[in-house]
Amino acid sequence: MPLNVKPYASDLIIAALALALGALYIAAAGGGFPLDDSWIHQTYGRNLAQYGEWAFTPSIPSTASTSPLYTVLLAAGYWLRVPFQIWTHGLGIAALALTGIIGARLAQQALPEHPRAGIVCGLALVGAWHLLWAAGAGMETMLFGMWTLVVIWLAWRQLRAASASQPPRSAVGWGAGFGVGSGLMTLTRAEGVLLGGLV
């Protein structure tokens, strides 16, 4: 891979910047969540962990959670007894870091003649104010953005191999990976099924 910075070193740089900027933003914003929907997600996650119910109000099952995967991830934090703000912001920052790393991979594939394209793209993604906001908002938005890039990256890898006349990747392995990625994206936000279908 024609990079002046080795891929794993650039991953660490991107992840470190995501952690630093994410923590700075969250501290500057007071550590809370800016939207009512953030607290709705917390309530569903807490009730799933404490009562084993998919409900906003205990004993009254409901389907108002728009992100089943995010609800389960939040519930995991409650099960582990990690303070919910730390857990939720940690999920957001992890998704931001992975978005930057996957974006770097996509840039390397799209612009192989530019050796620094990957790291520049990755750093730009984790430094974008709207993605920092999404990472700290306590919503599923950053996770959905991450899964979107994962699905695109999987598709590009397969197309690149086919266009370069490389030995084809296992159709079963690629199909399974793509299916899992598309499924997780759709469980994060239902409209993810549209991108999976288009790909």
Q: What is the distance between the alpha carbons of residues 59 and 106, in angstroms, rounded to a whole number? A: 46
DSSP state of 167: P
The model's pLDDT over 149-164, given as tens digits with 9 standing for 90+, comes to 999 998 888 877 766 6
Q: What is the distance between the alpha carbons of residues 77 and 42, in angstroms, rounded to a whole number? A: 10
Using CA atoms, how far residue 197 sits from 159, 183, 186, 191, 194, in Å, is 16, 11, 11, 10, 5
The model's pLDDT over 121-150, given as tens digits with 9 standing for 90+, comes to 999 999 999 999 999 999 999 999 999 999
Say what percent of the chain tops pLDDT 70: 91
Q: Provide the whole-model pTM.
A: 0.90
Residue with tokens 């939720």: 88
Using CA atoms, how far residue 93 sits from 8, 77, 134, 143, in Å, is 18, 15, 9, 10
Tell me what pLDDT residue 2 has.
Answer: 39
Q: Which of 33-47, 69-83, 155-169 has the highest mean pLDDT?
A: 69-83
pLDDT higher than 50, residue 192: yes
Coil, helix or strand for 54? coil
CB 154 within 8 A of CB 174: yes
Task: Output the six-digit token pair for 131.
Answer: 């993605």
Which comes out higher in pLDDT, residue 65 or 82?
Answer: 82
